[in-house]
Amino acid sequence: MSTSKTFKLDGKTISFNDGDTIMDAALRAGEYIPHLCHNPEFTPHGSCRVCIVDVNGRQVSACTQPAMAGSEVDNASDNIMRQRRELLQMLFVEGNHICPACEKSGACQLQAVAYYTNMLSPHFTHFFPRRTVDASHPDTAIDFDRCILCELCVRASRDVDHKNVFAIDGRGINSHLVVNSPTGKLGDSSFAASDKAAHVCPVGAILPKHTGYDKPIGDRLYDRQPVSIVGDVAAHEQEQEH
């Protein structure tokens, strides 16, 4: 593989390999491009759109766009940051995100990326959807209020656990996560807390039970350093638990 190929990310020269996306190359170079549905362990998805960048005047999602030699990628202009902020605001009003009452607060990637983009309020009118909590499983709970439809749990359960515990049902604004079991409850599915799918949720939707507030607020992953430095919450799963 050749590594002589390069593009510019906000003026910095980034080299890439054949087959790399802009995100792959940036991550390898230690450059941060905000994202939610992307996790380098899984096939790119491109749904949250938070990683939009401007490539030679065209906006694309960095996680799906093949890197192109000689291109100029804008990852930090006011225009791009404003759009990311608006996308995050959309995600906040679409679900029910009551951060002060959420166990994931401080270690939530949605919250952390919102801080990073200087989001100060959800701005748009709240949808206040009626969603439920599924506490049927002995070790893991799902609060659907906080699901942002990133499909990381779907991908993990399908591609790594080979269990297909999760799927998306509905269309459009009615799209929602469903559990594969006779009752639709997690407790009646083949899900286990040791599954990969239990460790990929970027928000407080899939949460371990019995560990509430082990780590005090103020000491959590994004409390001391921004997401641009410490990266994805999923990559810190191990230390979170111990």
How many C-beta atoms surround the C-beta of residue 125 within 10 A? 7
- Using the minimum distance from each CB to other proteins, give the nearer residue, 178 or 193: 178
Q: Which of 19, 57, 172, 216 binds other proteins (CB under 8 A)?
A: 172
Could you say which of 136, 164, 228, 240 contacts other proteins (CB under 8 A)?
A: 164
Site for ligand SF4 in 119-178 (CB under 6 A): 147-153, 177
In the complex, least distance from residue 152 CB atom to ligand SF4, rounded to whole angstroms: 4
Closest CB to other proteins among residues 206, 221: 206
Q: Which of residues 181-210 bind other proteins (CB under 8 A)?
A: none
Among 200, 207, 227, 233, indicate the residue that binds ligand SF4 (CB under 6 A): 200
What DSSP string describes the chain? ----EEEEETTEEEEE-TT-BHHHHHHHTT-----SS--TTS-----S-TTEEEETTEEEETTTSBP-TT-EEESS-HHHHHHHHHHHHHHHHHTT--GGG-TTTTS-HHHHHHHHTT--S--SPP------EE--SSSEEEEGGG-----HHHHIIIIIS----EEEES-GGG-EEEE-STTS-GGGSS--TTSGGGG--SSSSEEESS-TTSSPTTSSHHHHS-HHHH--SGGGHHHHH-
**234 near ligand SF4, judged by CB under 6 A:** no
Q: Is 149 in the site for other proteins (CB under 8 A)?
A: yes
* 124 lines the binding site for other proteins (CB under 8 A): yes
* Residues of span 54-93 touching other proteins by CB under 8 A: 59, 61, 64, 66, 83, 86-87, 90-91, 93
Residue listed under structure tokens 């930090």: 76
Instruction: Find which of other proteins, ligand SF4, none residue 201 binds, CB within 5 to 8 Å per kind.
Output: ligand SF4
Q: Give contact residues for other proteins (rule: CB under 8 A).
A: 44, 46-50, 52, 59, 61, 64, 66, 83, 86-87, 90-91, 93-94, 124-125, 127, 149, 164, 166-175, 178-180
